[in-house]
Structure 1
Amino acid sequence: MDRETLTKALEYADLASYQADAYLTLLEMGVSPAIEVGRESAVPVSQVYDVLRSLESKGYVETIEREKLYVQPCDPEAAMADLETRGELLHEAAEAVRERYRTPERMDARVGVTKRVKTAVENAQELIDDAETVVEVAGSFEQLQSLSPALRAARERGVVVRASVYIDQGEEPPAAFDPSGVLSELRVCTIPGPFLVVIDRNRTCFGPNTRSDEDYGVLVYDRILPFVFHWFFLTCLWNPYRVVYLDDEDQFTYVTIEEFIRDLLPLWERGFELGVTVEGVDIAEGDETTVEGSVADISFYGDERPPSRLALSDLGAYKNLTLDTGDETAVVGGWGAVFEDMEIRTITLERIDIGETPLTHERRD
């Protein structure tokens, strides 16, 4: 470290400019007459005695009375220990300031507004660290890349991670962007949209990427508002677009009952037996639970209509599945289930058996 930088550092440690210069000069000279320190440094000779006395009171130097006043540097351990303590304190203060900037002042209000989209992204990184079941995320390649370490750790914990990335027609993903081990499924959205993360149905980070007059972010800790953001993700940023990456481990795991019914109702109506494992929450007890069985019934608002290819919008009202476990039946509902036995977190399709289908009737005939 050069002398100029070291002088500034000592000034940060509460030394005045003359004190820092005199101290560094003395370190170079060793034991010396006080008057010589004044001559070799930038301290005016008329002030050198006062400056050295003040340094002595701070523990940096020691004066020696001889025929004239001498001065020598003290062992720096004590003074530098104080300097190091100040440095640690300043470092901790800087981290605390950053944390307070990222976190809204009143998180008990359930909704916080930040001044930058970047702050929403930074908060998403921390919230993803606590994800247990599913993360739904939409953003630019750069935003997804910044979340990659947190998303990779979530995948290693068994969390389902569904991502939609905004991409222009003909654009190629950056060479550094690799979804393997980071995402369960990736889709490309050709219309620019906001940064959005929905975590475990109770936390949301949102920020506009385009078409906004102001730069801001929204943080939500709640079970109701994330439901609205989830449906926006599902219908506007996810369902309409093509899949470009799918992790084989999760290809038969659903995180919404709507998508399960939409995809598998045609098979069930034709008589195929669907064996599933449902992980969720027991509504009566509030405890996590797992149920294995076959789908005995699929019910939703409007299911009396003639069969047709369902859209997600057809399943916006009530819907549930009845599972036959072999010993009993259990009714499972989706996000916000009230009257069912359990609310699903994930549904994994374990098997599809032919059962009583038109195909088996043809074989019997």
Structure 2
Amino acid sequence: MDEAALHRALERAGLTTYQVEAYLALLDLGTAPAVEVGRNCSVPVSQIYDVLRDLEEAGYAETLDREKLYARPTDPEALTAELQTHSEELATAADTIEERFDQPQLTDHKVAVTGRAATAVDHAVDLVGEAEYVVEVAAREDQLARLRPALEAARERGVVVRAAVYTAAETDSSESFDPDGAVSELRGCPLSGPFLVVIDRDRTCFAPNDRADESYGVLIRDRILPFVVHWYFLTCLWNTSPRLYRADDAVTYVTLEEFVRDWYDRWTDGYRLRVAVHGIDVDSDDERTVTGTVSDVHFLGANAGRSPRLADLASLTTLRVDAADDTVSVGGWGAVFEDLELRRIDVLDVTYEPFE
């Protein structure tokens, strides 16, 4: 450490400039008259006595009264231990300040803003660990690699994981993302977009891409705002991007709109769709699974004479499923009038059997 840096360190430890000068002179001289100490540093001789006594009180030096006042540095062992403790406290304080800066300030509206985009990714790891039904994520390859352990654990719990990777993004990490075992399906988005995660329809993490003017993250626990982020993911990223990977051949949907878009024409042509609908009972708020045959599909514009698009299904879409002893109406996100709010629908069997 050079002299200037040593000066700054001791001043941060609580010494004044004059005290630092006198103490460093003592380290060089050993035991010496006070006047001699003053001559070997920038402390005025008229003030050197007071400065040395202050150093003695602080534990840095001791004075000896002979024919004149002498001073010498104390054994530095205790002093260096104190400085080391002080240094560790400062380091801990620095870490705490950074953590508190990153920690979002929760509000009554359950929306939190962080000071760094990277914090949104860190929080997404925790939120993915809470997922029960579905995770939708759009991210760079290195961000997906950061999420990978949490995504793998979610898949092991039976969670559907849909990931869109920004294939044109310049990553700031050498990490690559292997989708096998981590996602149900991976699609490649050729444009660079924001980092976002939607979890079970009521939790969201969002951060702008690297080209944004500011770095920040938004964390949401709510039922409304994640719906908006979900539709951005669905229409702008997921359904416009080519598939890069799919885990298996099982036909599973996590939105009613996508199921109707893909199967409505076949259903109207006379194909019988046997499905398993997993969802939440609108009245009791309990989890419920219904297995049966699709008997009716309703959405605004159903009589338009063309295949439905996502835009046609965004307003009101209802499915009716004939189960063993009941007919159950199924709605999408935020269902109110239907019996069941869909979480996942599995296509179990498709047979051609025209309506009578």
TM range, smaller chain: 0.7 to 0.9
- Unpaired runs of 5+ in structure 1? 359-365
Q: Does 1:299 align with 2:300?
A: no
The amino acid that maps onto 2:349 is I
**Matches of 2:211 and 2:8, distance apart in 1:** 45
The SS at the match of 2:108 is helix
Paired residues for 1:90-239 under 5 Å: 90-99=90-99, 101-102=101-102, 107-110=107-110, 119-131=116-128, 132=131, 133-139=133-139, 141=140, 144-158=141-155, 159-167=159-167, 176-180=175-179, 181-206=181-206, 209=209, 214-215=213-214, 217=216, 219=218, 221=220, 222-239=222-239
Cα deviation 1:51-104 (Å, max 9, x = unaligned): 332222223333344555343424644x45654554444344434543454456
**Matches of 2:161 and 2:49, distance apart in 1:** 69
Q: Does 1:71 align with 2:72?
A: yes
**Matches of 1:33 and 1:66, distance apart in 2:** 11
**Matches of 2:8 and 2:294, distance apart in 1:** 76
**Which deviates more, 176-185 or 222-231?**
176-185
**Matches of 1:130 and 1:290, distance apart in 2:** 23
The SS at the match of 1:248 is coil
**Which deviates more, 53-62 or 305-314?**
305-314
Question: Cα offset for 1:239?
Answer: 0.5
- Against the structure 1 CA distance between its residues 86 and 344, is the aligned structure 2 distance closer, same or farther, given a 3 Å change threshold? farther
Question: Cα offset for 1:156?
Answer: 1.7
- Against the structure 1 CA distance between its residues 248 and 329, is the aligned structure 2 distance closer, same or farther, given a 3 Å change threshold? same
Q: Does 1:58 align with 2:58?
A: yes
**Matches of 1:14 and 1:210, distance apart in 2:** 41
**Matches of 2:325 and 2:66, distance apart in 1:** 101
Cα deviation 1:291-324 (Å, max 9, x = unaligned): 1523443432148537753322221122234445
Question: Cα offset for 1:337?
Answer: 1.1
CA contact (8 A) 1:291 1:325 kept: no
CA contact (8 A) 1:125 1:147 kept: no
Cα RMSD, aligned residues only: 4.1
Cα deviation 1:314-354 (Å, max 9, x = unaligned): 211222344455465544322111123332333344x3264
- Partner of residue 16, structure 1: 16
- Partner of residue 335, structure 1: 333
The amino acid that maps onto 1:357 is E
CA contact (8 A) 1:25 1:40 kept: no
Question: Cα offset for 1:182?
Answer: 4.6
CA contact (8 A) 1:333 1:340 kept: yes
CA contact (8 A) 1:300 1:315 kept: no
**Which deviates more, 38-47 or 57-66?**
38-47
Cα deviation 1:243-299 (Å, max 9, x = unaligned): 1223339x5332212112223445555444424251x43333334x24152344343
* TM-score (normalised: structure 2): 0.75
Cα deviation 1:138-171 (Å, max 9, x = unaligned): 35x3xx41353234313323354433344459x9
The SS at the match of 2:62 is strand
Question: Cα offset for 1:237?
Answer: 1.7
Question: Cα offset for 1:205?
Answer: 4.4
**Matches of 1:134 and 1:236, distance apart in 2:** 19
**Matches of 1:98 and 1:265, distance apart in 2:** 52
Question: Cα offset for 1:173?
Answer: 12
**Matches of 1:108 and 1:172, distance apart in 2:** 36
* TM-score (normalised: structure 1): 0.73
Paired residues for 1:236-247 under 5 Å: 236-247=236-247
**Matches of 1:33 and 1:53, distance apart in 2:** 14
Question: Cα offset for 1:113?
Answer: 6.3
How many residues are aligned here? 344
Matched-pair identity in %: 39
Cα deviation 1:22-46 (Å, max 9, x = unaligned): 445555666x235498279635472
- Partner of residue 345, structure 2: 347
**Matches of 1:334 and 1:27, distance apart in 2:** 77
**Matches of 2:299 and 2:38, distance apart in 1:** 94
